[in-house]
Amino acid sequence: MTINNRFAKPPQTACANVRIVRADGLDDGADVSELIKEHDMEISINGQPVFRLVCTPDRLVELVLGRIVTQGLIRECDDVESVFICESGAAAKVWLKEGRELLEGDGGLYTEPTCCTQNKPLGNFRTVKTPEFLPRAVYAKEHIFALAEKFQENASLHRKTGATHGCYLSYRGVYQGVFEDIGRHNALDKAVGYALVNGLAFRECILFTTGRVPVDMVEKAATAGIPILVSKSVPTAEAVELAKRCNLTLICRAWQDSYEVYWEAV
C-alpha cells in the first residue's frame, strides 16, 4: 500500500470570547473558550465518491482506512493499492487492488452525521460483509482497568475543549494510544485505521470508547474483526443482542474500580 498524505494539519481549535452568566446574579465578566474545529472531507474509492465526513483535522489517513475496514470493504493493507490525501485535506482518494465497481446503481454522496446512530454509507456496496462470528477473545481484567485508567488521564483535545470523543487502543495488552474526534464513530475508525497501517492483528486488539454503544458501534468493531469493545458508558439492548450474535465481548461502565460485562465471548 502506498500512502501519499499531502495534508499539513492546521490548528484543531479556535478561540471564542464568551460572557459567563450565573444564577446567583454574579457576573464573572468575559472569558475565552477554546473550541474544536470541524473539518469536511470527501472520500472516493476507485474513482467513485462514497463518503462525506465531518471530523477533526487529524489522522485523516487512519480515518479513511478505518472507515473502509469497518464498512466491510477491506480487511488488510494488501487490499489497498494507494491512499491519497490532498493538500487541504478536503479530498481523499483510495484505490483498491481489485478494480471493481463498489456501488449498485447510480449512488451519490452520503453525508455522515457526527454523533447519530445507525449511520450508513451511500448506496449498496457490493462488497460489504456482514459481521462474522468472532473467535473467543482472551484478555485479562488488568487490560480493561489499564484502559480505564488511561481514560482518566484524559486526551489532549478533550482536555482543551471538552468537545471530543476518544477511542483508546490496546494490542496484546499494550496501550497504543488515544484517537480523538468530534464523532465517536470517527474516533473508533481512526483507531482501527492505525491498527491496519501498523500491522496489528485485529483479533488481538481491544477498543475502549468514551461514548455510548449503540448497535452500529458494535457492528463496526465486529466487522473489523476486533473481538472486544469496552466503553465507559452504556450499550443499547440492540447492541447487546448484536454482540451475542457476533460473539463480541462487550464491556461497559468501565472505570478504574469496576466494569460490567454485558456479553462474554464463548
CATH class of 141-263: alpha beta
Q: At what angle do helices 184-197 and 60-70 cross, to 10 degrees?
A: 100
Work out the number of other CB atoms within 10 angstroms of the CB of residue 238: 14
Q: Which residue has the higher pLDDT, 126 or 179?
A: 179
Helices (H), the chain: 60-70, 141-153, 156-161, 184-197, 215-224, 237-246
Q: How confident is the model at residue 130 (pLDDT cuts 50, 70, 90)?
A: low
Task: Please report the pLDDT score of residue 127 as a whole number.
Answer: 46
Amino acid at 197: V
CA 2 to chain centre: 22
Q: Which CATH number fits domain 39-125: 3.40.50.970, 3.30.379.10, 3.20.20.70, 3.10.20.10?
A: 3.10.20.10
Numbers of helices and strands, H then E, in the chain:
6, 15
Task: Please report the pLDDT score of residue 117 as a whole number.
Answer: 33
Determine if residue 59 is left, alpha or beta; phi over 0 gives left, psi from -120 to 50 gives alpha, anything else beta.
left
Domain coordinates in residue numbering, the chain? 39-125, 141-263
% of the chain at pLDDT higher than 90: 71
> What whole-number distance in Å separates Cα of residue 82 and Cα of residue 96?
7
Q: What nine digits make up the cell of 8? A: 499539513
> What whole-number distance in Å separates Cα of residue 3 and Cα of residue 217?
27
- pTM metric for this prediction: 0.89
